[in-house]
Amino acid sequence: MELNVYLSGEIHTDWREQIIQGCQEHDLNITFCSANTNHDESDSAGDALGNEDKSFWRDHKSAKVNALRTNTLIERCDIAIIRFGDKYKQWNAAFDAGYCAALSKPYITLHSEDIIHPLKEVDAAAHAWATTVEQVVETLKYISNN
């Protein structure tokens, strides 16, 4: 089964690469996509459209240019993996989860045990919760191979 998987969330660790590599080792027929994970590029995505004095508007323009990509990618994907790390607010990951839930796009959350409680609403709408990259790969392998 061919799958299109969207990887959302934490950008400061290499969890995306680990999942992609893990799936390649099993020769799974999966196409991965993602928001731009280069922090500086992402923050300046709207700069080409003109400078802004206020940080709110600079962020606003960049967030919307990035949304041009991510809305399209989420619409196209079959499944999303949503990763919450132990740093930063990561509200965009929770936003993506809510967006997927409303569109009935199934998603898997990936986070450690110590943030179960604040993520309970996000997990409640998920199809699965994983704590390790290996579990995500194993689950994608199961879905993809059958």
- Considering only residues 54-73, where is the footprint of a second copy by CB under 8 A? 55-57, 59-69, 71-73
Comparing CB distances to a second copy, the nearer of 27 and 59 is 59
Q: Are 90 and 15 in contact (CB under 8 A)?
A: no
The C-alpha torsion from 96 through 102 and 104 to 108, rounded to 10°, is 30
Round the CA-based radius of gyration of the chain to a whole number and report it.
16
CA-to-CA distance for 118 and 102, rounded, in angstroms?
20
Residue 5 CB, nearest distance to a second copy (Å)?
Answer: 11
Smallest distance from a second copy to CB 26, Å: 13
Decide if residue 23 touches a second copy (CB under 8 A).
no
Within 67-126, which residues bind a second copy (CB under 8 A)?
Answer: 67-69, 71-73, 78-79, 84, 88-104, 106, 108, 113, 115-125
